[in-house]
Amino acid sequence: MAILPILRYPDPHLRSPCKPVETFDGRLAALADDLAATMRAAPGIGITAAHVGIAERLTVIELDGPASQRVYVNPAIEWASSQTQRHVEGSVSMPGVTDEVERPARVRVTYQDLSGGTHTEEAEGLLAVCLQHEIDQLDGIFWIDRLSRLKRERIVRKFRKAGT
């Protein structure tokens, strides 16, 4: 496993939609392993291939350490609840700054595994937040885009001032 360099905000690649994964092979599995190692080193609880400059729909989420690792290939939100929740979010591409984001409280996601098998999963709580956050990233939507203009400008100023 390799720790890959993470793109930093405002890199334009972070706002580019990712293409679907079409080949399910050893390279994809190795990339998922590298993403997991990179995420742990950052540290973070979720990462996408886009965070390391690879425009493919692949994300790794780990809420409770390596044993909880989940890999989602070509994930898409099929349904979202009308009930919402607020949760503090940040990004491995914008370390040191966070803010509360409001998102649907529950989602249903379809995705493929590393072998290409298709799955559907319903999630709530932190997993629902993470799935929406990472799928946004795969769609070219950076997390601060979900904030009001005022909050977004404040976060960007704070990040630039920190110089990370």
Provide the annotated active-site residues: 134
3 domain residue, yes or no:
no
pLDDT digits (tens, 9 = 90+) for 42-69: 999 999 999 999 999 999 999 998 889 9
- Kindly indicate the confidence band of residue 164, based on its pLDDT and cuts at 50, 70 and 90: low
164 domain residue, yes or no:
no
Torsion of CA 37, 39, 43, 45, to 10 degrees: -130
19 domain residue, yes or no:
yes
pLDDT digits (tens, 9 = 90+) for 108-120: 999 999 999 999 9
Could you give the CA distance from residue 69 to residue 157 in angstroms, rounded to a whole number? 33
Domain CATH for 144: 3.90.45.10
Q: What Rg do the C-alpha atoms of the chain give, in angstroms? A: 15
84 domain residue, yes or no:
yes
Q: Which domain holds residue 108?
A: 12-158
Contact 137, 94 (CB under 8 A): no
Contact 17, 138 (CB under 8 A): yes
99 domain residue, yes or no:
yes
Would you state the pLDDT for residue 23? 98
Contacts of 117 (CB under 8 A, 6+ apart): none
